[in-house]
Amino acid sequence: MTSDRLQRFGDRLALPLIAAPMFLVSGVELMVAACRSGVIGSFPTANCRSTDQLDEWLTTIETRLCQHEAQTGRKAAPLCPNLIVHRSNARLEQDLAVLLRHRPEIVITSVGSPAPVVKPLHDAGALVLADVASIRHAERAAEAGVDGLVLLTAGAGGQTGWLNPFAFVRAVRAFYDGVIVLAGGISDGRALYAAEVLGCDLAYMGTKFIATRESMADDRHKRMLVDSSADDILLTTAFTGLQTSMLRPSIVAAGLDPDDLPARGAIDIARDIDVGARESRPKRWRDIWSGGHSTSGVTDVLGVDDLVARTAAEYREARAHDPP
């Protein structure tokens, strides 16, 4: 970790890694396991059905991590809620209030300008990282005073960016000296080390954490990732209106033709609450599953401890072979 902003975490991180926040995948068990293993655990606050449940999740996670510290004498890696700051998030103010009470060490903002939430989060002691998918968005987030930028690049699962990670990181590093997190295509410890060499402080790993025993993903989703490769990832706007990386086999299983999908956002599964005759229709994220280019690196379903240990061994080997 090169950034001074991350030094507060000292030796609490086994790897410069964030378990990416994933809709309907990242939950209490995954967060506890990731943080205990020395990886920053992040989850979308939208994974909670209500603000009250968000409060319950945070309390449960914090309690279990405190118990871990008491039992082992080791402080866990930080927990990092992911807050949707777009005006369409009707729970934004309420969820923010819960976060301010719990005082998380890191918060990631997504889908909109972080400007309105930066000061209150800073006042609560949190580092603020902002998701960005373009140079202009990176510039605006930096101007808003965030502590770090999560660069959403081509190859990330779910709603993704389009820029090449090499070009994106170097372009942002030319004007920004804060924390940079690379999101997209991190499949093992060697790729993680490469992200550091490129100029990043941290990286997301998402797809491989889907295929863990602790994730909330459907077991069929996990097995499909094991059986698939990067060739099975389809970039499409049909389901969300935004560029989204989805698993072709899940589209086929839902009775759709991945090579003949309707126009941008035209498939009527945008709402995850169906009634009446719509009940049998496929639902986004429940039946149409995401995956990133790192799907080729998913070879089995592991426990989080085993995944982190394996990634750490790969990372150490990559560092050891780095030429002087």
Q: What is the rounded distance in angstroms from the CA atom of residue 129 to the CA atom of residue 233?
A: 27
Q: Is residue 174 scored above 50 in pLDDT?
A: yes
> Residues 152, 183: contact at Cβ < 8 Å?
yes
Could you say which DSSP state residue 243 is in? -
Element (H, E) at 130: strand 127-132
Looking at residues 41-53, what average pLDDT do you find? Answer: 97
- Going by C-alpha positions, the residue among 60, 64, 20, 14 that lies closest to residue 42 is 20
> Residues 130, 149: contact at Cβ < 8 Å?
yes
Residue 94: how many other CB atoms lie within 10 Å: 15
Q: Identify the pLDDT of residue 287.
A: 84
What is the percent of the chain with per-residue pLDDT over 70, rounded to a whole number? 92
Encode pLDDT of 128-160 as tens digits: 999 999 999 999 999 999 999 999 999 999 889
Q: Is residue 324 scored above 60 in pLDDT?
A: no
Encode pLDDT of 97-123 as tens digits: 999 999 999 999 999 899 999 999 999
Q: Is residue 277 scored above 50 in pLDDT?
A: no
Q: What is the rounded distance in angstroms from the CA atom of residue 218 to the CA atom of residue 289?
A: 9
- What domains does the chain contain, in order, with CATH numbers? 4-215+300-320 (3.20.20.70), 219-280 (no CATH)
> Residues 207, 295: contact at Cβ < 8 Å?
yes
pLDDT band at 278 (very low <50, low <70, confident <90, very high): very low
Q: What is the rounded distance in angstroms from the CA atom of residue 56 to the CA atom of residue 52?
A: 6
Q: Is residue 5 scored above 50 in pLDDT?
A: yes
Q: Identify the pLDDT of residue 241.
A: 83
Q: Identify the pLDDT of residue 271.
A: 43
List beta partners, residue 212: 302
Q: What predicted TM-score, i.e. pTM, was given to this entire model?
A: 0.92
> Residues 220, 226: contact at Cβ < 8 Å?
no
Which residue matches tokens 């820029």? Answer: 163
Q: What is the rounded distance in angstroms from the CA atom of residue 225 to the CA atom of residue 289?
A: 10
Looking at residues 231-260, what average pLDDT do you find? Answer: 92
Q: Is residue 275 scored above 50 in pLDDT?
A: no
- What backbone torsions phi and psi does residue 29 show, to the nearest 5 degrees? -65, -40
**Cα four-point dihedral sign 291, 293, 296, 297:** negative
